[in-house]
Structure 1
Amino acid sequence: MKQNKLIIAAGTGFLGQVLVNHFKNKFEEIVILTRGKSETRNNIKYVHWDAKTLTGWETELEKADVLINLAGKSVDCRYTDENKAAILASRIDSTAILNLAVLSCTNPPKHWLNSSTATIYRHSEDKQMTEENGEIGDDFSMNVAKAWEQTFFEVPTKNTLKTALRTSIVLGKKGGAFIPLKRLTQIGFGGKNGSGNQFVSFIHEDDFARAIEFIVEKEMIGTVNVIAPNPVRNKDFMKQLRKEIGIPFGIPLSKTLLKFGAKIIKTEPELVLKSRNVIPKRLLDNGFEFNLGTIEKTLKNLLS
């Protein structure tokens, strides 16, 4: 059955496009809130917003079936004071203004799914983190995630269901982390990163979009780990990537080298060194079936 209206806030990036491709034949109308100009393209309506203030875009939320908010400055940058402030503000401001927008609607969205992150859990090489028993840590990234979810949930929206999507690395053909990882491996740097023992939690872009649809269908609320069920150690992830690409060897990158390299390409080593050992318990308990739930299947598909 076709639903009526889908709104994607900040939907012009990689994940937004994954969702548009998945949902384009499942909704009568798709509206993207964007910092770009207002226009209609390929039957999709783009509406300008600044993700901070109500300037008229909020009327688009009326009678929406689903609102998905993907807003947030990329964490693929150096954690300078200025970037840290922007990372936090971009998540808090957009979520806070959407709370106001939803409350201002006569017919608010039925279900609002807000981005969050699996980085909310502590570095773990031992324990698997589920929604129920996951241990939430205390550093810059984890505190951003906590503030983000708090801003989302602290405002009651009695006519709108709310779900925070604790997502990790989404692997896709046209964007995200997969492309630089593939390039590194092709030029011979596809060895383990650091000790290689840290876990990588990932999800294939198709399963990501299917999981979002499932969460809406099942009216799942609260926090959901949107992640494949089989996290793998970094050394095994890189080994599988080399195998699928057909590169027999890969130079390992030590912690020191990664820190040096991260400075040059203006990013943070945490992005590859943190162990995200996260399990999608609620999705599995509700009966969601992953099509590409292992790293082997995921990489085979992306490189086919």
Structure 2
Amino acid sequence: MSADRVVIGGSTGFMGRYLQERWRRQGREVVTVSRAGADIRWSDQAAIDRAVDGASLVIGLAGKSVNCRYTPANRAEIVRSRVDTTASLSRAIARAAAPPPLWVNSSTATVYRHADDRPMTESTGEIGSGFSVDVARAWEQALFADDLPATRRIALRSAIVLGHGGVLEPLKTLSRLGLGGAHHDGRWPVSRGRRAAGTAHLPGARRGRQRFSWVHIEDVARAIDFFERTPTLEGPVNASAPHPVDDREFMATVRRVLGVRIGVPMPRWMLELGAIGIRTETELVLKSRWVLPEKLTEAGFVFRYPTLEAAVRESFDRAAAAQDAGP
């Protein structure tokens, strides 16, 4: 194995695929870890130990998608898949004769409270409550649990990541059907069980005014490169573009880039019924996430896609180029 080795845990998802392709093009050795379809399986701790020992960078991205219904079984797997894989990487680093100098592990900007009054930064942000926040806190606790004096650790509190694929694909389809309007919050009956589990979304911002923080996938990759060159950065870091928008502006931008003139607003009752039908949760579009990249900005990081329209346009243009290229 080469000295410039990157270990990616959770390599088969949207971000993992992008990063490994990018770093292999740059000539770096990339070792992938996943449940299947990777160089190493999560069940093989000895192989993970060998890969991590001497690596220049470890990336932790693993975790069951939150794009599902928050049933008891799914909630347990969402937490377990994040905490167990993070602990596995931590054990490997603790055992390494030559521990990696940097470990960047996924977290989420959802750790902050529903915010429509002011933005959340690493220094002034307020941690929220509920199941999604509990997941983020457990994830970060697993990252920082062990004493790893030779390895700098960063919890990447990512906003919604845009790029070719990911969240934009279903929104593209809905917009072309005329259903790409703003997502309107409102009242909806909530069971006692959902309240107890912390999965109930209570009415917040109205008429699509919930804030939408986002970041282009290229800037996430560039931020990781920046972390390697900037040893002062550690702890939680917000991965979010410096110009968040609200939900109305986000959906209007998607429609404008696609050339779609009409977008019917989606009221809460329609969103809830649709979420039940496609087995997801309305929190993903109704929670107001207002996040700013304080640490990155103060450290001198320059975003390639600081504004939304350029990020959406690049994502759709790249998708069209890939389709034109064919198999």
TM-score bucket of the superposed structures, by smaller chain: over 0.9
Which residue of 274, 278, 295 corresponds with 1:265?
278
Asked whether the equivalents of residues 33 and 48 of structure 1 are also in contact (C-alpha less than 8 Å), the reply is yes
Aligned position for 2:269:
256
The yes-or-no answer on 1:199 pairing with 2:211 is: yes
Residue 176 of structure 1: CA displacement?
A: 1.1
Aligned position for 1:93:
84
Asked whether the equivalents of residues 110 and 136 of structure 2 are also in contact (C-alpha less than 8 Å), the reply is yes
Aligned position for 1:246:
259
What is the CA–CA distance in structure 2 between the aligned matches of 1:66 and 1:303, rounded to whole Å? Answer: 31
Asked whether the equivalents of residues 6 and 27 of structure 1 are also in contact (C-alpha less than 8 Å), the reply is no
Which residue of 65, 83, 88 corresponds with 2:74?
83
Letter paired with 2:214: F
The yes-or-no answer on 1:214 pairing with 2:226 is: yes
What is the CA–CA distance in structure 2 between the aligned matches of 1:3 and 1:237, rounded to whole Å? Answer: 42
Aligned position for 1:155:
146
Letter paired with 1:149: E
Aligned-residue CA RMSD (Å): 1.4
Residue 251 of structure 1: CA displacement?
A: 1.0
TM-score by length of 2: 0.87
Aligned position for 1:232:
245
Q: State which drifts further: 109-118 or 14-23.
A: 14-23
Residue 144 of structure 1: CA displacement?
A: 1.0
Asked whether the equivalents of residues 92 and 151 of structure 1 are also in contact (C-alpha less than 8 Å), the reply is yes
Count of residues in correspondence between the two structures: 293
Asked whether the equivalents of residues 190 and 251 of structure 1 are also in contact (C-alpha less than 8 Å), the reply is yes
Aligned position for 1:43:
none
Deviations 1:163-218 (A, max 9, x none): 10000111111x21011111110111010001200011111111111111111211
Residue 55 of structure 1: CA displacement?
A: 4.0
The yes-or-no answer on 1:181 pairing with 2:137 is: no
Letter paired with 1:131: E
The yes-or-no answer on 1:278 pairing with 2:269 is: no
Which residue of 85, 100, 123 corresponds with 1:109?
100
Asked whether the equivalents of residues 106 and 155 of structure 2 are also in contact (C-alpha less than 8 Å), the reply is yes
Q: Percent of aligned positions with the same letter in both sequences? A: 42
* Equivalent residue runs for 1:29-48 within 5 Å: 29-36=29-36, 46-48=39-41
What is the CA–CA distance in structure 1 between the aligned matches of 2:215 and 2:154, rounded to whole Å? Answer: 18
Structure in which a larger fraction of residues adopt strand: 1
Aligned position for 2:109:
118
What is the CA–CA distance in structure 2 between the aligned matches of 1:3 and 1:228, rounded to whole Å? Answer: 32
What is the CA–CA distance in structure 2 between the aligned matches of 1:142 and 1:25, rounded to whole Å? Answer: 36
1:282 match: secondary structure:
helix
Letter paired with 1:275: S
